[in-house]
Amino acid sequence: MKSFARFLALVASLLFVSFTALAQAHDGHLPESDGVIKKIDAAKGKVSIAHGEIANLKMPPMTMTFTAKDAAMLKGFKEGDKVRFRAAEVKGNLTVVTLDAAK
């Protein structure tokens, strides 16, 4: 019985690892969009971006506020910065899942 419990724990941890890997692979698979940061609210983890088309969200260019997937990802960015980012709907919120300075 003890070994069965250990087996279940192993299966659970393997599933967790593969789901995490899948989630990361999925983020990387989203198309990147261009944008310019208009406002950052680090405390709330929000960022307003004047963005180009976001193909995966079927969204035309506009300025709007996104939730940051992780508030820490906003560190080092400021208003006026040109960025490349990926956005997705996460739990009903339009969320920036990756954010990089545009070259």
Q: How many residues does the chain have?
A: 103
Instruction: State the Cα–Cα distance between residues 35 and 55, nearest whole angstrom.
Output: 13
Instruction: State the Cα–Cα distance between residues 20 and 25, nearest whole angstrom.
Output: 9
Q: Which of residues 59 and 73 has its CB atom nearest to Cu ion in the complex? A: 59
**CB 75, min distance to Cu ion, A:** 23
**CB 99, min distance to Cu ion, A:** 15
- Count of residues in contact with Cu ion, rule CB under 5 A: 3
Paired tokens of 95: 């969320």
Q: Which of 64, 77, 84, 95 binds Cu ion (CB under 5 A)?
A: 64
Window 33 to 62, contacts with Cu ion (CB under 5 A): 59, 62
Contact at 8 Å (CB) between 47 and 41? yes
**CB 65, min distance to Cu ion, A:** 9
Q: What angle do CA 88, 94, 97 make, to 5 degrees?
A: 45
Q: Which of residues 54 and 74 has its CB atom nearest to Cu ion in the complex? A: 54
Site residues (vs Cu ion, CB under 5 A): 59, 62, 64
